[in-house]
Amino acid sequence: MGKISLIIQREYLTRVRKRSFIIMTILGPLLMAGVAIVPVWLASANESVRSIVVLDETGMMDYQLQSNPTIQFSYSHVSLEDAKRNLEKSDNYALVYIPKAQDDNLIVTQRSIKLYSTNQVSLNVKIYIENQLEKQLERSMLKANGVDKDLVSSIEKTVKVSIQNVDLNQKDAKDKSNDVEVSTALGAFAGILIYFFIFLFGSQVMRGVIEEKSNRIVELIISSVKPFQLMMGKIIGIALVGLTQFLLWVILTASIYTVFLNTVVKEKFSADKIEMLMKKSPDGTAVEDIDQLIENQMVIERINQINWVLIIPCFIFYFLGGYLLYGAMFAAVGGAVDNDADTQQFVLPITIPLIFSFVMAQTVLNDPTGVMARWLSIIPLTSPIVMMVRLPFQVPVWELALSMFMLVLGFIFTTWIAGKIYRTGILMYGKRVTWREMARWLRY
Amino acid sequence: MSTPLFEARNISKYYGNYCALNDVSIVVEQGAIFGLLGPNGAGKTSLIRIINQITIPDSGSLYFKGEPMNLSHVQRIGYLPEERGLYKKMEVGEQCLYLARLRGLEKNEAKRRLRIWFEKFEMQSWWNKKVEELSKGMAQKVQFVVTVLHEPELLIFDEPFSGFDPVNAAIIRNEILDLSKKGSTIIFSTHRMETVEELCDSIALINKSKKILDGKVRDIQNQFRNNTYEMVFRGNMLSFTTALWTGFELIDKQADGEICKVQLKLLGNNTINNLLNTVMPVCEIVSFKEILPSMNDIFIQNVKEPV
């Protein structure tokens, strides 16, 4: 209809032209990337080289501990008192003291190792030192019992089990491995995203309605269009804003990802490079690096293997369905109250199912085919989030269809109820509304 | 008699158990200025919302030029609500266009007409301003323009003068008279009885959800006339009052030298001629006229009466 499309246009354009929308659209993917990258970057950028002095009375550790780029071991052979004094005078970070026990008892020794420092030692450093000492002790004990440590470690490196879960119900099960880690991450991410989208755009509907009501333009508009048209126009207009934002995010993220793959990753993880690394280190010192590389490449492969053709349309469907369901309720609340401050008592009850499904996401992730997950993904109030969480774990078609059908029924129902509350509410000024009052409006 | 432009028959509206309108009927003749009067909370706004098809009556029917009213008639009605506002963050021109198009005007036509009205009210420079930058009076001018832009046959103003300063109120008043002269039919609701006498042809008075009075302003005033007359004469006040004797009641008297002014009420079966015969011997009559009750008095008298 002409008039409703006019309303949709206005709602859409006024929001899309806002500076905050443009900024969020550009910053969204960057922020998300930032959340993942910045902590790692901060942790690595912050560390300077720390020198650790080792004073070993047993002689077991001498020149055996492996330094890394941020922790450098050096060895001292003076008395403990001198070493402590030297530590205070020097820039050295800490002093590891390994006392000699009676009868060279290693069990006693490992309990009496001390770490002296002038400042509090960071946890990373402590863990690293412990790790190194343990490795060396293990080596010594194996040696004492006549076992060759190098043999053991080469065996350890060869053996690595990685289980691939293959779903027999999938036709192309042969080449599609369904793996839990990526599915879990994806499910959680989709659930969180849909939760925020519904909240963000649902409350935009509410604020829009309150704005119209509090600046009194609403009466002018509903003398031209039906209140229901105004409400639906607003809800649809804002839905389109949400979709625009989402699609722009998908496009931006996908292009950042592609660029990232084509430049950084390709160069770093290409097969040639791996081969070259292998050749370079026939002794196996770089094996860990290669493992890491292969792991990374598998993650990328898995990301590419995800059924995006299913996930993205489903995301859009559940976003729209969930948003329409909750958006209508948000509109009803906006219509019933006079200002933002009065919304609290109504917003919390209507969003409890949403918050509940967000909290339950963890349970669903642990058991994506359990009774709880199944029910929550069919009930319309919780299905938008829970079904998105379940989706990467292969949901039977009939369950998906039932869930979608229920969601459509759900939002038709809430829209119908909301329309009744809304059309009465927007014409009531200066009256504090109660739940009972709203229930009465349903019969007007 | 020609078909009335608008007619509401036996309208009732309930909100739960609360009765907002109880069997109210009004008839608005083509080209008339119709006053909808009543104290606060009487049901005026409820009725206006029903005329605008914002709400639906529980019983009763509406007719526009004899046809049962439907949604297509909305485009032939202009409505300026009492509680009125605009989108604060939207630009004036864009907003006017939006509201005009919602009322069914085509985009370019709306633009053309807006330009004419903006020129008329000297507000061309407001086009790209945001509404929040305008003063209250300026915003109301914008609302007025939006109300009349689609040249509706029926205009409904709910308290049109509230919030206007005297200068702007006069401008709007003249515009309303102008629109009426051009043939628009106008319904307006107000508390200001002096504007009713000045502008309205007929009225309906609503109190406690019921219509208690309606008709032409002149007829109503005649209906409530109470045989009160004003006489100005030249002569002696004392001999005048003595001459009146018992058939007449003296309500008010003023003397300014030779010229005296009195208000009289006829009692019993006495006629004007009786009165004139009685006083003619003692004074020289300068002027004589009937005093019609003011709408203000009629309003107060009727609303106070227990229903």
Split at pLDDT 50, 70, 90, the class of A176 is very low
Residue A272: predicted pLDDT = 61
Q: How far is CA A318 from the centre of its chain?
A: 19
Which residues are registered as beta bridge partners of A23? Answer: none
Residues constituting chain B: 307
Q: Nearest-CA distance from A235 to chain B in Å?
A: 17
Give the whole-angstrom CA distance, residue B121 versus residue A349.
50
**A212, A402 Cβ separation under 8 angstroms:** no
Report the residue from A10, A220, A440 with minimal CB separation from B84: A220
Nearest-CA residue of chain B relative to A443? B16
Six token digits for residue A92: 């050295």
Q: Nearest-CA distance from B162 to chain A in Å?
A: 15
Q: Nearest-CA distance from A301 to chain B in Å?
A: 48
Which residues are registered as beta bridge partners of B156? Answer: B79, B187
Contact (CB<8Å) B84/A217: yes
- Picking from A11, A224, A441, A443 by the largest number of B CB atoms within 10 A of its own CB, the best residue to mutate is A224
Closest CA to A362 of A380, A348, A376: A376
Nearest-CA residue of chain A relative to B13? A444
**A10, A237 Cβ separation under 8 angstroms:** yes
Q: What is the mean pLDDT of chain A?
A: 81
Give the whole-angstrom CA distance, residue A304 versus residue B77.
60
Residue given tokens 């598998």 in the structure block: A298
Reported as a single tens digit per residue, the pLDDT across B104-163 is 889 999 999 999 999 988 888 989 999 889 888 888 889 999 999 988 999 999 888 877
Nearest-CA residue of chain A relative to B74? A224
Residue B249: predicted pLDDT = 83
Split at pLDDT 50, 70, 90, the class of A290 is low
Torsion angle defined by CA atoms of residues A258, A262, A268 and A270, in that order, rounded to the nearest 10 degrees:
110
Residue A226 gets the label, from left (phi > 0), alpha (psi -120 to 50) or beta, of: beta
Report the residue from B16, B85, B102 with minimal CB separation from A440: B16
Give the whole-angstrom CA distance, residue B69 versus residue B62.
5
Q: Which of A222-231, A314-323, B262-271 is least confident?
A: B262-271
Answer whether residue B292 shows pLDDT above 80: yes
Closest CA to B51 of B6, B84, B3: B6
Split at pLDDT 50, 70, 90, the class of B28 is very high
- In A195-234, the residues whose Cβ lies within 8 Å of chain B are 211-212, 215-217, 219-227
Answer whether residue B70 shows pLDDT above 80: yes
Report the residue from B79, B86, B146 with minimal CB separation from A215: B86
Q: Nearest-CA distance from A221 to chain B in Å?
A: 7
Q: Give me the helices (H) in chain B, please.
A: 44-51, 92-102, 107-120, 136-148, 166-181, 193-199, 217-223, 237-244, 272-279, 295-304
Q: Give me the helices (H) in B184-306, please.
A: 193-199, 217-223, 237-244, 272-279, 295-304
**A314, A388 Cβ separation under 8 angstroms:** yes
**A236, A8 Cβ separation under 8 angstroms:** yes
- Picking from B14, B46, B54 by the largest number of A CB atoms within 10 A of its own CB, the best residue to mutate is B54
Share of chain A above pLDDT 90, in %: 16
pTM given for the model:
0.74
**B152, B78 Cβ separation under 8 angstroms:** yes
Report the residue from A14, A212, A224 with minimal CB separation from B103: A224
Strands B283-290 and B228-235: antiparallel
Q: Which residue has the higher pLDDT, A176 or A160?
A: A160
Cβ neighbours of residue A351 under 8 Å, at least 6 residues apart? A199, A326
DSSP helix/strand/coil, A442: coil
Q: Nearest-CA distance from A324 to chain B in Å?
A: 24
Q: Which of A252-261, A365-374, B72-81, B191-200 is least confident?
A: A252-261
Answer whether residue A53 shows pLDDT above 60: yes
Q: Which of A171-175, A340-344, A380-384, B139-143 is least confident?
A: A171-175
Residue A173: predicted pLDDT = 41
Answer whether residue A67 shows pLDDT above 60: yes
Q: Which of A153-162, A175-184, A220-229, B193-202 is least confident?
A: A175-184
Mean per-residue pLDDT, A105-112: 78
Share of chain B above pLDDT 90, in %: 25
Answer whether residue A174 shows pLDDT above 50: no
**A178, A364 Cβ separation under 8 angstroms:** no
Q: Nearest-CA distance from B55 to chain A in Å?
A: 9
Contact (CB<8Å) A221/B52: no
- Picking from B12, B94, B102 by the largest number of A CB atoms within 10 A of its own CB, the best residue to mutate is B102
Reported as a single tens digit per residue, the pLDDT across B203-236 is 898 888 888 888 888 888 888 888 888 889 888 8
Closest CA to B39 of B299, B217, B215, B294: B299
Cβ neighbours of residue B248 under 8 Å, at least 6 residues apart? B264, B265, B266, B267, B270, B275, B278
For Cα atoms A165, A170, A173, give the angle at the middle one, nearest 5 degrees.
55
Which residues are registered as beta bridge partners of A206? Answer: none
Give the whole-angstrom CA distance, residue B230 versus residue B241.
14
Give DSSP secondary structure letters for A108-165.
HHHHS-EEEESSPPPHHHHHHHHHHHHHHHHHHHHHHTT--HHHHHHHHHH-------
Contact (CB<8Å) B54/A223: yes
Give the whole-angstrom CA distance, residue A7 versus residue A231.
9
Contact (CB<8Å) B101/A6: yes
A-chain residues within 8 Å CB-CB of B83? 216, 219, 429
A-chain residues within 8 Å CB-CB of B55? 427
Answer whether residue B65 shows pLDDT above 70: yes
DSSP helix/strand/coil, B228: strand
Inform me whether the C-beta atom of residue B87 falls under 8 Å from chain A C-beta atoms.
yes
Contact (CB<8Å) A427/B55: yes
Torsion angle defined by CA atoms of residues A92, A93, A98 and A99, in that order, rounded to the nearest 10 degrees:
70
Give the whole-angstrom CA distance, residue A72 versus residue A92.
10
Contact (CB<8Å) A220/B81: yes
Residue B300: predicted pLDDT = 83
- In A1-40, the residues whose Cβ lies within 8 Å of chain B are 3, 6-7, 10, 14
DSSP helix/strand/coil, B291: coil
